[in-house]
Chain A
Amino acid sequence: RKEVEQDPGPFNVPEGATVAFNCTYSNSASQSFFWYRQDCRKEPKLLMSVYSSGNEDGRFTAQLNRASQYISLLIRDSKLSDSATYLCVVRDLNAGNNRKLIWGLGTSLAVNP
């Protein structure tokens, strides 16, 4: 099982739709969780952190389910500009007790007019 798994998509949705992505992680001791956004041929940028209680930033809602070891990202009222790849990132302690980031392969979203 991969450490961080995402459905690669692509998700094709019309403008205004609500879309949700899930990401599962294998290490139950994982500490922190994030969603990054990566536009085509561009660098990743932090979209939002994921907190245990769930958190919202405008049209974006992130949730964490530690019992089932997954995080989710919900995008409401999709815009054309939301078209991108969404990367799930998990922060773990490695064998040397150093923190490391584990990156998912990403979920591709295309919002259509």
Chain B
Amino acid sequence: NAGVTQTPKFRVLKTGQSMTLLCAQDMNHEYMYWYRQDPGMGLRLIHYSVGEGTTAKGEVPDGYNVSRLKKQNFLLGLESAAPSQTSVYFCASSYPDRRFYNEQFFGPGTRLTVL
């Protein structure tokens, strides 16, 4: 049981390049999330998904796209990377968070630098 995994762990991009971050979970969770964590800003939600085939915008969605083609995978895409997207990206998953909170389980993070 690997929990939540993320690939890659580290990446350096040049401005304007594109890339996809992959998140996978083996806990059969319905909900998945992408966050970014920056010094002095705390964790901020980029996009999330409440089920296979559905995605929604979070707090800071601009410059990112996501897809959830399979329940266990959630992809985060950067079409044209900018230095402002230098950050640590965390993926998380949980059972449905409706009436009662269900713990979010996080992946180990991807450290992205955009030059």
Contact = CB atoms under 8 A, between A and B. Distances in A.
Given A103-B42, A103-B43, A105-B42, A43 B101 contact: no
Contacts of A104: 42
Contacts of B103: 46
Nearest to B40: A105
Given A43-B108, A46-B103, A46-B104, A106 B42 contact: yes
A interface: dominant SS: strand
Interface string A35-58: 000000111111001000000000
Interface in A58-104: 87, 91, 99-101, 103-104
Contacts of B42: 4, 87, 103-106
Interface residues of A, number: 19
> How extensive is the interface on chain B, given as a class?
10 to 19
B90 A43 contact: yes
A101 B106 contact: no
Contacts, number: 37
A43 B107 contact: yes
Interface in A8-38: 32, 34
Interface string B87-115: 00010000001100101101111000000
A89 to B, nearest CB: 9
Contacts of B40: 105
A4 B44 CA distance: 13
Contact of A49 (B45, B90, B101, B106): B101
Nearest to B3: A43
Contacts of A101: 43, 45, 104
Contacts of A45: 106
Contacts of B43: 44, 87, 101, 103
A44 B90 contact: yes
21 contacts: A4-B42, A32-B101, A34-B101, A42-B108, A42-B109, A43-B106, A43-B107, A43-B108, A43-B109, A44-B106, A45-B106, A46-B103, A87-B43, A99-B97, A99-B98, A100-B45, A100-B59, A101-B43, A103-B42, A103-B43, A105-B42
